Structure 1
Amino acid sequence: MKKEKLIFVTNDDGYDSKGLRAAVEVARRFGHVIAIAPERMQSGMSQAITIYNPLYLREVSVSDDVEIYALSGTPVDCVKMAFDHFLKGRRVDLAISGINHGSNSAVNVLYSGTMGAAIECSFYDCPSVGLSLDDHDLDADFEAAILYGERIVRSVLESRIPLPLCLNVNVPVGKPDEIRGVRVCRQNAGSWREEFFCHHDPRGREYFWLTGAFVNAEPEATDTDEWALSHGYVSVVPVQVDLTAYRQMPALEAALGPLGDTK
């Protein structure tokens, strides 16, 4: 008898979010699901890990095909807890991080706790998919994200895509029949321009709320995740973690040449 697949699920919105339930719904169609997710909201934590505080893991619910646990840490803590302790020695066939409330396109991939966890999973030679829905509403409709998430996960499991593999998948708002299809894209070039709103507490002390707007540096480009999302397509970006700026190496070597071998 063919061995049942093991699918790991995590997120950054917390174990009790609607998005995690949607991710589990996708994962359970492919095998036994073990989810370890943060005890509380951990959005924007990127690759952060907990060093100076203990971590607490608790069982939330266990059934024949789905186990859910909550961890008092970051999304990457959840991944490390899974692969280095809870599931140590077991083969994990695929990892899903999400489904996030809000897109993680463009530079958001660097800030996202959802994608931080997905990237961390890929370090364990486990194919991983970060799933996000372009809707921040806590009661968002995940029907399309579940449908396309299932299709993309199935393709990954049935294909021989070289490892490490980490996909950043973003689904536009809308019903499944409103989505135009799937586009394999590159990450859009852009950045956030922040603004701090200053207020005063009852004791007169200043405090700040961070807000901002995303600035698309290439609005005319048609091969990016931002373009795909804005035109009704699911964007799929393969993510790598080598941050070396290869284009700058020749110029840097020329500039630093005199500082080369000195002996």
Structure 2
Amino acid sequence: MKKILLVNDDGIDAPGLHAMAENLINDYDLRVVAPAVQQSGMSQALSAHSKIKVKKVDFGLPVEAHKVYGTPADCTKLAVEVLYENDLPDMIISGINDGGNLGTDVLYSGTVGAAMEGHLHGILSIAVSRVVGSELSFAEVAQIFSQKLPKLRNEKPYMYNINFPKKIADQNDIFRYTKQGRRTYHNEYAIEINEQGEKCYFMNGTPNDAGNIEGSDIWAIHKGFVSINPLKVGRTNKKLLRELIDG
């Protein structure tokens, strides 16, 4: 039976994490390592200069589970380098995240960051998210994902970023393999005064998805497809690099 490590950024009590576990538990050997509290937007940050507390918890299912007082990437890193160092998972699944991780969202996403940490350790890793306002329940997302999971190419430790739309347009044509699109945000900062009388800022962002061509992850979501976007680590601007070398 293949071993799967479940991680996320919404925290150990997040319904998306539990829905994924409930759907996979009969077919895989699961273990759960998730943040103690909400850690969205942490990207692949690590607690480099802090002590990290890890506590074994009752997950409500017959799986070994730990909550980590750290970031999503901390969870993955501790799992593969400490907790299961001698019993590595065959696969890491991060999610189900409550909110899409599309286009340039992947630069900030703790869900993607936790999966990318697994990819860096040479383990097949998958980030799974559901867009805000989706009509699909977490249970439905987990079920559709689990049916597709055995069909994903896995001969190498690939990294996949999977996003579910608000509504699937055609149940007979659900998935699209996509490239990363571009999403920008119009950010507004609300000002609040805390109990100590100090001024604080709270960010509210409105996404702008204009200009995404057919084949992008954002295009797929707006068309009612589930987007499967293979990611990689390297971010070198190869074209500019060649120009610089050539003088």
Could you list the per-position Cα deviations for residues 215-256 of structure 1 after superposition, in whole angstroms to 9, with x for gaps in the alignment?
22524x1111111111110000001010101121233335xx
What residue is the counterpart of 1:226 in the other structure?
A: 218
What residue is the counterpart of 2:104 in the other structure?
A: 107
What residue is the counterpart of 2:122 in the other structure?
A: 125
What residue is the counterpart of 1:89 in the other structure?
A: 86
Q: 8 Å contact 2:34–2:68 — kept in the other structure?
A: yes
Indicate the SS of the match to 1:196.
Answer: strand
Amino acid at match of 2:189: F
TM-score, normalized by length of structure 2?
0.90
Q: 8 Å contact 1:182–1:234 — kept in the other structure?
A: yes
Amino acid at match of 2:41: G
Tell me: CA distance 1:174–1:217, structure 2 relative to 1, closer, same or farther (3 Å): closer
- Deviation larger for 86-95 or 34-43: 86-95
The size of the alignment, in residue pairs, is 247
Q: Which structure 2 residue ranges, 5 or more long, are not aligned? A: none
* 1:181 counterpart = 2:177: no
Tell me: CA distance 1:176–1:15, structure 2 relative to 1, closer, same or farther (3 Å): farther
What residue is the counterpart of 1:41 in the other structure?
A: 38
Indicate the SS of the match to 2:19.
Answer: helix
Tell me: CA distance 1:179–1:119, structure 2 relative to 1, closer, same or farther (3 Å): farther
Amino acid at match of 2:191: C
Q: Which structure 1 residue ranges, 5 or more long, are not aligned? A: 258-263
Indicate the SS of the match to 2:75.
Answer: helix
What residue is the counterpart of 1:141 in the other structure?
A: 137
- Displacement of 1:65 after TM fit? 4.7
Amino acid at match of 1:240: K
Q: 8 Å contact 1:144–1:174 — kept in the other structure?
A: no
Task: Give the whole-Å Cα distance in 2 for the aligned partners of 1:46 and 1:178.
Answer: 32
Task: Give the whole-Å Cα distance in 2 for the aligned partners of 1:90 and 1:233.
Answer: 36
Task: Give the whole-Å Cα distance in 1 for the aligned partners of 2:162 and 2:59.
Answer: 28
Q: 8 Å contact 2:168–2:174 — kept in the other structure?
A: no
* 1:190 counterpart = 2:183: yes
Q: 8 Å contact 1:143–1:176 — kept in the other structure?
A: no
Indicate the SS of the match to 2:144.
Answer: helix
What residue is the counterpart of 2:148 in the other structure?
A: 152
Among 200, 211, 222, which residue is 1:207 paired with?
A: 200
Computing the radius of gyration from Cα coordinates, the structure with the larger value is: 1
Could you list the per-position Cα deviations for residues 163-183 of structure 1 after superposition, in whole angstroms to 9, with x for gaps in the alignment?
230100001124797684100
Among 234, 247, 254, which residue is 2:239 paired with?
A: 247
Could you list the per-position Cα deviations for residues 11-53 of structure 1 after superposition, in whole angstroms to 9, with x for gaps in the alignment?
0000011011012124324321000000000000001111222
Amino acid at match of 1:118: A
Tell me: CA distance 1:238–1:26, structure 2 relative to 1, closer, same or farther (3 Å): farther
Tell me: CA distance 1:119–1:203, structure 2 relative to 1, closer, same or farther (3 Å): closer
Task: Give the whole-Å Cα distance in 2 for the aligned partners of 1:136 and 1:13.
Answer: 16
* 1:59 counterpart = 2:51: no
Sequence identity (%): 30
Task: Give the whole-Å Cα distance in 1 for the aligned partners of 2:133 and 2:46.
Answer: 25
After the TM superposition, which segments of 4 or more aligned residues of structure 1 sit over 4 Å from their partners? 62-65, 175-180, 201-204
- Displacement of 1:93 after TM fit? 1.1
Q: 8 Å contact 1:180–1:232 — kept in the other structure?
A: no
- Displacement of 1:211 after TM fit? 1.4
Indicate the SS of the match to 1:80.
Answer: helix
